[in-house]
Amino acid sequence: MEMQPYGEPSAAARVLVVEDERPLVDAIRVALEREGHVVLTAHDGASGLERALHEPVDVVILDVMLPGMSGFEVCRFLRQRSDVPILLLTARVDETDRVVGLDLGADDYITKPFSMRELMARVRAALRRKGLAQTARLAVGDLVVDPARHEVRCGDRVLPLSPKEYDLLEVLSRHAGRVLSRGQLLELVWGYDYEGDERTVDVHVSWLRRKLREAGSAVRIVAVRGVGYRLEP
Ligand code: CA
């Protein structure tokens, strides 16, 4: 399966479920997988925050009532560092929960008990909104990445990129300053079940580096030994 280009809502997303109630996690996982999503899970707030910050995630489903760090705290920390859509699960009908959650930067909330059908509809809505937001242009160092046009400019020069080179540069730009492993890059750019070798990533990175140099850009793609690559603006 080819990954949809960024900027369009993609059918398959990586969804992180942070909830300590295991049977509920299992039910949510089954429903999400049926929709074609890849599911990551965490059973407490601290590990949920860790995964959300260090792995590529498209949507976070976050329970408010968690052992240790509460969902509200996770939401607040995560929002300071990431724009990932956050969908809060709240057990109470209490309106203060909803208001607090939205104040802390959650995108949406759903009150327990809920139907899986309703939860899936909220996830689709979050992905749609994210898809729209992702058409906004990104400025990274001296580059402007334009997802709507699949184009990268350095000053008034358009870089002559192949579609895969563009996708790779866009993914690296969205995570500028953070290391992405070759496996993550393969999955994000070439698709979840791409059979190719991780050297594919190395080859495309070397082509990208040459094109960045030729365009006179100061942006660098740094190899992190044994891990992967990081874009330095
Ligand atoms: Ca819970």
Q: Give 64 Cα–ligand 1 centroid separation in angstroms.
A: 7
Q: Give 125 Cα–ligand 1 centroid separation in angstroms.
A: 23
Same domain, 193 and 118: no
- Grouping H, G, I as helix, E, B as strand and the rest as coil, residue 145 is strand
Domain boundary among the residues 95, 130, 165 is at 130
Query: pTM of this prediction?
Result: 0.59
Q: What is the predicted pLDDT for the residue at 1? A: 35
Q: pLDDT tens digits for 130-151?
A: 776 677 788 999 999 988 788 9
Which single residue is written with the structure tokens 């990954």? 3
Token pair recorded at residue 102? 């939205």
Residue 155 belongs to domain spanning = 137-232
Q: pLDDT tens digits for 70-107?
A: 999 999 999 988 889 999 998 766 667 777 777 788 88
Same domain, 30 and 122: yes
Q: How many CB atoms lie within 10 A of CB 62?
A: 29
User: What CA–CA distance (Å, rounded) separates 108 from 125?
Assistant: 10
Q: Give 113 Cα–ligand 1 centroid separation in angstroms.
A: 12
Q: Give 66 Cα–ligand 1 centroid separation in angstroms.
A: 5
Same domain, 125 and 142: no
Which protein residues have their CB within 5 A of the ion that is ligand 1?
20-21, 63, 65
Q: Give the mean pLDDT of the chain.
A: 87
Side-chain-side CA neighbours of 61 within 13 Å: the count stands at 32
Closest CA to 122 of 32, 57, 52: 32
Token pair recorded at residue 18? 């942070």
Q: CATH code at 151?
A: 1.10.10.10
pLDDT(3) > 50: no
Q: How many CB atoms lie within 10 A of CB 31?
A: 17
Same domain, 142 and 84: no
Q: Give 45 Cα–ligand 1 centroid separation in angstroms.
A: 10
Same domain, 123 and 172: no
Burial class (CB in 10 A: 0-12, 13-18, 19+), 193: exposed
Q: CATH code at 27?
A: 3.40.50.2300
Q: pLDDT tens digits for 167-196?
A: 999 999 988 898 999 988 887 788 655 667
Same domain, 169 and 81: no
Asked if the peptide bond before residue 113 counts as cis, ω within 30 degrees of 0, the response is yes
User: What CA–CA distance (Å, rounded) separates 138 from 144?
Assistant: 6
Closest CA to 145 of 169, 168, 163, 175: 169
Q: How confident is the model at residue 7 (pLDDT cuts 50, 70, 90)?
A: very low
Does residue 158 lie within any of the structural domains?
yes
Q: Where are the alpha helices (DSSP H) in the chain?
A: 22-34, 45-54, 71-81, 95-103, 116-133, 163-174, 182-185, 199-214
Q: Give 129 Cα–ligand 1 centroid separation in angstroms.
A: 26
Domain count within the chain: 2
Q: How confident is the model at residue 6 (pLDDT cuts 50, 70, 90)?
A: very low
